[in-house]
Amino acid sequence: MASHLETELGKLRGIIIKIGGLAESQVAEAVKAVLSEPVLESKEVKKTENKIDKLDVKIDDICQSVFALQQPVASDLRFIISAMQISREIERIGDLSMSIIKLTKSIKEKHELISKFNIADIVRGAEDITAKTNECFLNMDETSVEEIFKLNTDVKSKSSDAIDNIIGEMKNNSKTVVSGTNLIIALKHFERIADHSTNIAESVFFMINAKTIKHEKFSDKN
């Protein structure tokens, strides 16, 4: 006899994997939008966004039921707490991706800035973190958490440099002010996406080790 609780946890795990995959595809669309590559129709992207929102609500609903009816403890408890946090992070990743897609559609003359300041490297870095985080959850692989932290630091640092350069460019060439500002916002969004993904990795670490590594450098805690 499979335990009723195990069935519920299995269901939850399946939904998290699904919502994580959807968010990953939204981030991929956001990357393409910034790099002016062909993107899916807005209708499709919006549809995925709605799916993410619905699954987010479903995860909350299942977690609420499990808390109220099954009284999870130990690893089960950590899984439920983490599931709620992960779902929140993923939902934000979806929202940020949508914002980037909307924002970058209106940016003209962005090609020059993108190639000049190696923006592709930064946004693909954020995309990579999202994919690695999904794998980290899927395989419950705590060994990849450290790498995700490092990648996040790398994205942040590169993004910060790029933003300084874009600001410099805007000062010298007023024509780039509108596109530059939008690009800075998009970069900040990608930084947030990388942060949210890193938070998911933190939750996976907590799930496995019952140890919180929030607000700390990975190396400080290990």
Nearer to another protein, 61 or 109 (CB): 61
Nearer to another protein, 62 or 101 (CB): 62
| Min separation Cβ 84 and another protein, Å | 15
**Would you tell me which residues interact with another protein (CB under 8 A)?**
1, 3-5, 64-65, 68-71
Q: Distance (Å, rounded) from C-alpha 101 to C-alpha 99?
A: 5
Quickly tell me which residue has 């956001």 as its tokens: 30
Nearer to another protein, 66 or 186 (CB): 66
The helix/strand/coil state of 13 is helix
Question: Token pair for residue 27?
Answer: 């981030």
Phi first, then psi, for residue 108 (nearest 5°) are -105, 165
| Min separation Cβ 83 and another protein, Å | 17
CA 138 to chain centre: 15
| Min separation Cβ 133 and another protein, Å | 31
| Min separation Cβ 55 and another protein, Å | 19
Contact indicator for 48, 25 with CB cutoff of 8 Å: yes
Nearer to another protein, 17 or 69 (CB): 69
